Amino acid sequence: MPPRLDVDARRAQLARAVWHVVLTQGVGAVSVRTVAHEAGVAVGSLRHVFPTRAELLEFSAELIVQRAAERVRAVPQDGDPLAHALAVLEELLPLDATRRAEMEVNLALVAEAPALPRLAAIRDEAAAGIALLCRQAVERLGGRDDESTVRRLHALLDGLALHLLSQEPGEDVTWARALLRAELERIASHHG
């Protein structure tokens, strides 16, 4: 007895509409009306799956984190630890339109955190996940598993992400990949 409406699909559709509004009109333009209109449904239908605006925003943020986590999980685990680590961490860099949009939306939603405390919690969970990935990368590369090594990698990763975000969508991104690769090679060469 499947429900006549696929609630999860509808939720994802509305979350995508949120992302689109954020990207084109800014997070200030996100309202139940604009999002419903963007998704092509009535406000009442939106409110059937998201009774309040907060739930809509929180789900949208959670879905972004979840998508990124899935992409990381889907990275093939071949023999070369450096190539694998690079591939994993590059999934967290806005190197194409999709990842760029995700990061931009995430940043905008996080900026609303004082009003929606749940968003701060989502941000913290995501940060913890990325920190874990950095730690695993350091371990598999055989680097010193200093706390400082992990933290430097993590900070460098997020700093690169931030700078990629503020350059125009079409611009060159190879410099960022090269910098990340250099850091991973540097970690691998410092055995401890």
The residue ranges that bind DNA (CB under 7 A) are 1, 3-5, 7, 10, 29-34, 41-45, 47-49, 51-54
Q: Which is nearer to its own copies, 41 or 131 (CB)?
A: 131
Q: How near is the Cβ of 55 to DNA at its closest, in Å?
A: 8
Span interacting with its own copies, options 26-34, 44-52, 61-69, 74-82, rule CB under 8 A: 26-34
Query: Is residue 12 involved in binding its own copies (CB under 8 A)?
Result: no
How many binding residues for its own copies (CB under 8 A)?
40
31 binds, among DNA, its own copies, none (CB under 5 to 8 A by kind): DNA
Q: Which is nearer to its own copies, 7 or 97 (CB)?
A: 97
Task: Please check whether residue 36 is in contact with residue 42, taking contact to mean a CB–CB distance below 8 angstroms.
Answer: yes
Binding its own copies by CB under 8 A: which of 40, 76, 79, 114? 114
Q: Per-residue contact track with its own copies, 146 to 165, x per CB under 8 A?
A: -xx--xx-xxxxxxx-xx--
If 0-12 CB within 10 Å is exposed, 13-18 middle and 19+ buried, where does residue 85 land? Answer: buried
Q: How near is the Cβ of 120 to its own copies at its closest, in Å?
A: 8
Q: Considering only residues 71 through 110, tell me which ones interact with its own copies, judged by CB under 8 A.
A: 107-108, 110
